Amino acid sequence: MAETDKKNGAARGGAQNKAKKTPARAKPQAARANQPGQGDDWDYGYERSVKFANRGCLLAVGVVIVGIIITVLIIFGSIMGEVNGKGATATGTVQVQIPAGSGGQTVSGILQKAGLIGNDGIFRFYVRFNGAGTGFQQGTFEVQAGMSYDEIIEVLTTAPLPRDVVTVTFPPGGTVIQFAQAAEKAGLCTVDEFVDAANNGDYSDIEFFKYVDEQPGTYMRAEGYLAPDTYEFYVDETPYNIVRKLFQQFDANLKAIDFDGRNAYDIIEEQKAQMPEGSEWGLRQLVTLASIIEEEASIPDQYQASVSGVFWNRLTKPLPSDLPRRTMGSDVTLRYLTDWVARDYGGLDVTDMSQPEMKAAALAIIPQDIFYGYYTGDDDALTQEGLPISPISNPGVSALVAALQPELHNYFYFLAFKNGEYRFAERYWQHQQNITEMVNANAAWEAEQAAGGSSEG
């Protein structure tokens, strides 16, 4: 028994020792092996999911890196395009005036305003990086649109050569043809070259042009937008640059108008709300009105605002019974037809468009849409109501201001005496009385002038 017990004890001890040698993770493995659908396949699927997750992360990081590279390349390409002159909005040759002592900030602003660069910040950095900020020369320079930064800097850091200059005065109320004649008289260009540059040149980079809606029947596209003033031009100036300078001055004049923080375009929008339903109002109409005011009352600060008020009443107020249509009743638009349009189309010397035979002769050579675009006579049912189709002259700043701020009154008629006096009336019968007085006053004035002339002679 003792031996048997020993054997049994040894057997139990051996079994216990064997149990201790079994690895601890054998049971979980066995347990997993006993679970349906798991085992070695489970380990393989787990490893694959980890690999796919890692690949997804790498792919996302790669996409981000590629996106960053593309963005950097786009930005770099845009900057290089700007540096190489691709940002210019101007066309042709542009004159820029560089004041004395100008640095990179001043010059970059001038160039961007002129449409020669697209980003003044990039130009300032480029100038600073190249150390050219203190080398800009004073004077007037001609810069070709599309020049690179380096080419522009070279032009503006080279002292301009002395050039002969001619001074030309374009008076308020002059027409495109009269301005062209003044340029020809100064030896700058021919009338035809000036007119062609004014009406057919591309000046779309000048801001006011985006507010001008050219209409069919317009006689001269440029009429009204050439700023009257005294200018200096180089004797070898191109017609395009001459005209461009006048357009740029008109744009500057508009921007300089200020009414308690409101600019000309703000006032135009306010005026648009006053117009009868269906009536158009914008920059073209404003300049057209200003051109009529300039012709009817050429002396600033005397009657321009009063005359403007008459036209505004005819455009916006309920009309009196003796004024059945919203016509302007202005002789100056008829004179535009006789003095400029008729002569330009066929050399026709029409002195009085109210004469049926002269009117018929004008209609025979002037396209009908142009004729009735400017004809304001009350005798014709085809006369368009409101303003002419476009300006009839180039008004000065005071006439533009008068069109923007008319005098408030109830007059619908006015007369200009030869002695400089103006008479206003609310009704037509009052206007007729003023006409009688004007005839007598004009006769007396002419007699005084004749007497004064003979005594002086």
Q: Which amino acid is residue 404, in one-letter code? A: L
Tokens of 266: 């703000």
- What per-residue confidence (pLDDT) applies to 24? 46
Pairing of strands 139-144, 93-98: antiparallel
Q: What span, in angstroms and rounded, lies between the C-alpha atoms of 239 and 235?
A: 11
121-175 residue pLDDT tens: 888 888 887 777 678 888 888 898 889 999 998 898 888 777 789 999 999 999 9
- What per-residue confidence (pLDDT) applies to 97? 84
Q: What is the largest CA-CA distance in the chain?
A: 176
- What per-residue confidence (pLDDT) applies to 364? 84
**Phi/psi of residue 420, each to 5°?**
95, -5
- What per-residue confidence (pLDDT) applies to 347? 67
User: Which residues, listed in sequence order, are joined to residue 52 by a DSSP beta bridge?
Assistant: none
- What per-residue confidence (pLDDT) applies to 52? 62
- What per-residue confidence (pLDDT) applies to 178? 96
**DSSP assignment, residue 230?**
E
Q: Are 130 and 90 in contact (CB under 8 A)?
A: no
- What per-residue confidence (pLDDT) applies to 16? 47
User: Which residues, listed in sequence order, are joined to residue 168 by a DSSP beta bridge?
Assistant: 231
Picking from 391, 342, 343, 388, the residue whose alpha carbon sits closest to that of residue 366 is 342
Tokens of 286: 């404003």
The set of residues, in sequence order, having a beta carbon less than 8 Å from that of 427 and lying 6+ positions away, is: 320, 322, 412, 413
Tokens of 358: 């002269």
Count the helix, strand and coil residues of the chain and give each as a percent rounded to the nearest 5.
55, 10, 35
Q: What span, in angstroms and rounded, lies between the C-alpha atoms of 143 and 97?
A: 11
pTM: 0.70
Give, in order, the Cα–Cα distances in Å from 454 to each of 217, 367, 446: 48, 46, 12
Counting as low any pLDDT under 70, the low residues of the chain are 1-56, 133, 347-354, 377-383, 453-457
Q: Which amino acid is residue 8, in one-letter code? A: N
Q: Which fold has domain 82-107+121-161?
A: Dna Ligase; domain 1 (3.30.1490)
Picking from 339, 303, 332, 333, the residue whose alpha carbon sits closest to that of residue 419 is 303
Helix residue ranges, H only, 84-119: 104-113
Picking from 195, 382, 378, 376, the residue whose alpha carbon sits closest to that of residue 295 is 376
- What per-residue confidence (pLDDT) applies to 216? 84
Give, in order, the Cα–Cα distances in Å from 158 to each of 235, 241, 293, 444: 21, 21, 46, 64
- What per-residue confidence (pLDDT) applies to 46? 58
Domain locations in the chain? Answer: 82-107+121-161
